[in-house]
Amino acid sequence: MNEIGEYLKTERKKNGVSISEASDDLNINEALLSAIEEGNFKAFKDIFELKDMVRIYAKYLGLDVSKMLDDFNDFVFEKTSKISLDDIRKAKEKLDSEKEETTKHISSPYTKIKHTRYDAAPIVLLIAILFFISLIVYLILKVVKTEPMITNELLGGITYECTK
Measured at the CA of 111, the angle between CA 105 and CA 117, to 5 degrees, comes to 135
What is the pLDDT averaged over residues 101-107?
57
pLDDT (tens digit per residue) in 20-53: 888 888 888 888 888 888 888 778 788 888 888 8
Cα 65 to Cα 53: distance, rounded to the nearest angstrom: 11
pLDDT tens readout for residues 67-90: 888 888 877 777 666 666 677 788
Could you report the per-residue pLDDT of 114-162, keeping only the tens digit for each? 666 677 888 899 999 999 999 999 998 888 775 555 555 555 555 555 5
pLDDT at 63: 86
- The CA distance from 90 to 93, in Å, is 5
| pLDDT attached to residue 164 | 55
Amino acid at 51: K
More confident position, 126 or 7: 126
**What fold is seen in the domain 2-80?**
434 Repressor (Amino-terminal Domain) (1.10.260)
Residue-range domain boundaries for the chain: 2-80
